[in-house]
Amino acid sequence: MKILILNGPNLNMLGQREPAVYGRETLEEIMGRLASEASRLGVEMICEQSNAEGALVRMVQDAVVEGMAGIILNPAAYTHTSIALRDAIKGSGLPCVEVHLSNTHAREVFRHKSLTAGVCIGQIQGFGGYGYVLALQGLYEYLKARPS
């Protein structure tokens, strides 16, 4: 089982950027913890990050061709703006879990609406980097329960 872990804009700056909001953990540290959980579950994970909307769309499209079973997505700021990313997720037909480090509903009003959540099987937010582990566990259980 292969899962794409897709991270959007500015997540490459984790650990430095607004630590009061996003924590001090780097993206590499979060992905390292996630890799341990993926290994425990017997899941192969492919991790990608881009600041470019078009690159994220292409990675979602490529996930189908590359035989991914599902996607864990932190669309970051594109959560609130990207119809293109929403359409790519929906068009892929792959189950997707949206993840956010912070609780977007406890932040600025413009962050309260997610354009991508409606085409995802679930959303996890507010648990910092551990949210990725929760997303992987949820997606794994969802995929196991699906009829072949």
Give me the active site residues, please: 22, 100
Number of H helices and E strands in the chain, helices first, is 5, 5
Looking at the DSSP bridge assignments, the partners of residue 3 are: 45, 70
CA distance 80 to 101: 15
Residues 6+ apart with CB under 8 A from 32: none
Going 106 to 125 to 5 to 56, the CA torsion angle's sign is negative
Token couple for 44: 């192969």
Q: Are 94 and 86 in contact (CB under 8 A)?
A: no
Encoding tokens for residue 92?
């892929």
